[in-house]
Amino acid sequence: MKPLINTSNGNIIVYNNSDSIKEIEDGIFCIRGVNVMIDRDLSEIYGVKTKRLNEQVKRNIERFPERFMFQLSDYETLKLVANCDRLQALKHSSTNPYAFTEQGVSMLASVLNSDTAVETSIKIIDAFVAMRHFVQNNAKIFVEIDSIKQHIIEHDVHLLENDRKIDHVLTLLEKNEQEDKQKLFFDGQIYDAFSLMVSIVQKAEKDIVLIDNYVNTETLDILSKKKENVDIQIFTSRNTKLTKTDIDKFNSQYPNLTLHFSDKFHDRFIIIDHAMAYHIGASIKDAGKKCFGVNLINDSWMVEALIKKLCD
């Protein structure tokens, strides 16, 4: 930063050009919510040593209350050095710099006590004023920029939250899918087993085929959880406890269920939409009463073989 005076030929020349004002503006920082210049930059502009400038201030300290001048903390000094390459030397200084507000700069002219100091202070204060006017004139733009930044932050947060929700949903879906593929229930897990049977029934979009030699009205309670317009076929033993009245009552509210008799199967199966099938280790009416397992049949040819066996 260049001094604003030149005394090489005995005359005092105050530089009055945009480059000089721009240099001053580059030395103005916002610290503790106010615009300030630090002693090092001011001493260069005034053409005096920093030590002498601060000595004059200390001799007249009563003229420099904290709203005119304050010393930077260690944190503020480090932050200033980190954001301004030309102030790297401050990192090795034994004392933290002093910061002068616009009023403090004006007071410096009186303690330095020279026409040069007065002229220089005027230019520095002009730079403060120009910067203040710039901020005031562009306040609306700054507000809009802050609003845009806030909107971007909120948008990013919203996307992040959505990503987390999606990940959570996918995790649950994956967990549920794994549970549906293979599940083992122990004695007393009646509700858990009932819930799984219902979830399997609700997968059907078109039809359900149940192969179970031991069906009763409890079986119908589970099948009643099906989606609307899904047809049901039950293949069971002739010794079934279901009556024609049970079937008619069910169909009056949850059509359409058809009962078939077959002695071809020992195990229990449930086929969904002629496309997927589950092997069930116990009658679904007894789900959870004893230890049993449920396994998804992955091979399509096995599902086709089951359906073909029903038609034989």
Residue 73, pLDDT score: 92
Residue 270, pLDDT score: 92
Residue 234 scores a pLDDT above 90:
yes
Rounded to whole angstroms, the Cα distance separating 73 from 97 reads: 9
**What confidence tens digit (pLDDT) does each residue in 107-152 have?**
887 888 766 666 777 777 777 777 666 656 665 665 666 667 676 7
Residue 2 scores a pLDDT above 60:
no
Residue 183, pLDDT score: 72
- Mean pLDDT, rounded, for 227-250: 92
Residue 258, pLDDT score: 92
Question: pLDDT tier at 8 (50, 70, 90 boundaries)?
Answer: very low
The pLDDT > 90 percentage for the chain reads 24
Residue 137, pLDDT score: 64
Residue 301 CB: number of other CB atoms within 10 A? 8
Residue 245 scores a pLDDT above 50:
yes
- Mean pLDDT, rounded, for 149-173: 65
Residue 46, pLDDT score: 82
Which residue has better confidence, 101 or 116? 101
Question: pLDDT tier at 165 (50, 70, 90 boundaries)?
Answer: low
Is 81 within 8 Å of 94 (Cβ atoms)? no
Domain coordinates in residue numbering, the chain: 5-137, 186-311
End-to-end CA distance of the chain: 99
Nearest to 293 by CA among 205, 185, 218, 212: 185
Which residue has better confidence, 193 or 137? 193
Residue 127 CB: number of other CB atoms within 10 A? 24
Q: Is residue 170 exposed (0-12), middle (13-18) or buried (19+ Cβ within 10 Å)? A: exposed
Which CATH superfamily groups domain 186-311? Endonuclease Chain A (3.30.870.10)
Residue 3, pLDDT score: 45
Residue 176 scores a pLDDT above 70:
no
Rounded to whole angstroms, the Cα distance separating 119 from 109 reads: 8
According to DSSP, residue 260 is labeled E
Residue 87, pLDDT score: 84
Q: What is the average pLDDT value for the chain, to the nearest integer?
A: 79
- Mean pLDDT, rounded, for 187-212: 86
Residue 60 scores a pLDDT above 50:
yes
Most confident of 106-110, 188-192, 276-280, 302-306: 276-280
- Mean pLDDT, rounded, for 77-85: 85
Instruction: Look up residue 229 and give its two tokens.
Output: 């317009």
- According to DSSP, the residues that pair with 71 across neighbouring strands are 98
- Mean pLDDT, rounded, for 191-213: 89
Is 235 within 8 Å of 307 (Cβ atoms)? no
**What confidence tens digit (pLDDT) does each residue in 16-53 have?**
444 456 667 778 888 888 889 899 888 888 888 889 89
Which residue has better confidence, 71 or 292? 71
Nearest to 99 by CA among 67, 72, 75: 72
- Mean pLDDT, rounded, for 254-278: 90
